[in-house]
Amino acid sequence: MPNGVKFNDHYPNITISDILYERALAVQKPITQTLAKGPGQFTKGIAPKYLVKGKGSHVWDVDGNEYIDYNAAIGPVSLGYCYPAVDEAIQRQLADGISFSLTHPLEVELSELIQDIIPNAEAVKISKMGADVCSAAIRVSRAFTGREKIFCCGYHGWHDWYIGITSRNAGVPESTQNMTYTFEYNDIESIRAALDEDVAAVILEPFIFEAPKNNFLQELAEACRENGTLLIFDEMWTGFRIALGGAQEYFQVKPDLAVYSKACANGMPIALLTGRADVMELFNKEVFSYTTFGGETLSLAACIATIRELQEKNVPAYLAEKGAILQQGYNQIAEEFGLGAFTKCIGYPCRSMVTFSPEAGNGLELKTLMQQEMIKRGILWAGFHNMCYSHTDEDIAYTLSAYRDVMPIMKKAILDKDAMPLIRGEVLEAVFRKTSNYNIKPALQKA
């Protein structure tokens, strides 16, 4: 029998997952369309590789094993899998068609809705992927300012202007790499010292897991204004989760441009760029950024239905409340086992992350061990609590009971300073995000 959401006697049978994986190796390069969903982020030999069904906060793998899911499809599922109000909106629109030869009224309706809820949305542009709208924001910033350099902090997609500063930059011309610079979050002085007359835009995730300190976002907005540099908020994760209007509403900081995707359509592919009318005006003539599927109607209908549910149910407040119970519960359990100095759940409650201190041992090995033990207990765990509206009190209580059951295993690995004897599968792979070795320097030192 497949494993369920319970303290199972055995690790899940993943036979069919492994057969599909072998087939994929012969025909796909890479075998995943999203790095965070790939086998490198889930311990091979223990974790499933293919999911086939979701309902509410639960998912089922191809072998029939059931899990509570805290990954939310890597962000897009804000309400829950197969959420009725969204699925019904998609089905109604499907009866009339998907893509058309002219623009569709839903494009206007969605843009008006976005203007009502996002503070900086003097104008709205609709596209398909987060990387699309990030790159559109960069291009229009360069056109508006007549400048070339970009400062960034966080993850901003796969396009050349950003990926050139990561370890996965093969194929990106060096000249392109040399126009993007990275900075450390909360270090306002390094940014002020580096801003010069050729910085077109500063783009950042308003927060990832670290909170802004000393009015960092307000100070950054002011520094950009003084330098004639556009400020861009990448709100792929913060938008519609921390507040309906995103981090700019939550922190009361209005960027010149902002980009959204993930949570706004409960899993359907859509992306939004919002911003100042005078900047966005350039898309009408000077700046080219178009895509055939930008006006695809099923996603538009899903986005409108999702946002209305987020509004009517006050979903950001729910995510904060339930996420806090989970986050605080984990930290309390860690303290009870004497592990408070070694592991903590950090971030904002709507999206928190379990971390291990350097003193605890090899972080990837410890994460692998916890992942395999949580999967055994029916939780698809990747280190994050990406909360959705379908996570119930029962889900959270069960998850905390699983953490309590797993903590003695983690304690042994930490005190023995060796997790490997307890790991059944392969250790997780490191991701490529740039989180150190920031390369901006005082303006006078840059050639």
Structure tokens at 226: 């003084």
Q: Is 49 left (phi over 0), alpha (psi -120 to 50) or beta?
A: alpha
Omega of the bond leading into 30 within 30 degrees of 0 (cis): yes
Residue 320 CB neighbour total at 10 angstroms: 17
Give the span between the Cα atoms of 71 and 345, in whole angstroms.
15
Distance CA 71, CA 90 (A): 23
**Are the beta carbons of 47 and 371 closer than 8 angstroms?**
yes
Task: State the Cα–Cα distance between residues 29 and 159, nearest whole angstrom.
Answer: 18
Q: Collapsing DSSP states into helix, strand and coil, what is residue 2?
A: coil
Residue 178 · residue 443 · CB < 8 Å: no
Selected catalytic residue, list 63, 69, 132, 234: 234
Catalytic member of 49, 149, 254, 262: 262
Angle at CA 386, nearest 5°, toward 253 and 347?
55
Whole-number Å distance between alpha carbons of 17 and 92 = 34
Q: Coil, helix or strand for 59? A: strand
**Token pair of 340, please?**
């408070």
d(CA 389, CA 72): 11
Strand partners, 54: 59
Q: Which two tokens stand for residue 203?
A: 């783009």
| List 11, 70, 83, 155, catalytic entry | 155
Q: Is 318 a catalytic residue?
A: no
In the residue annotation, 348 being an active-site residue is answered as no
Instruction: Give the distance, in angstroms, between the CA of residue 24 and the centroid of all CA atoms in the same chain.
Output: 26
77, 239, 315 from 310: Cα distances, Å: 12, 11, 5
Tally of CB atoms within 10 A around 384 = 19
Q: Is 155 a catalytic residue?
A: yes
For residues 240 and 264, the answer to whether their CB atoms sit within 8 Å is yes
Which are the catalytic amino acids? 155, 234, 262
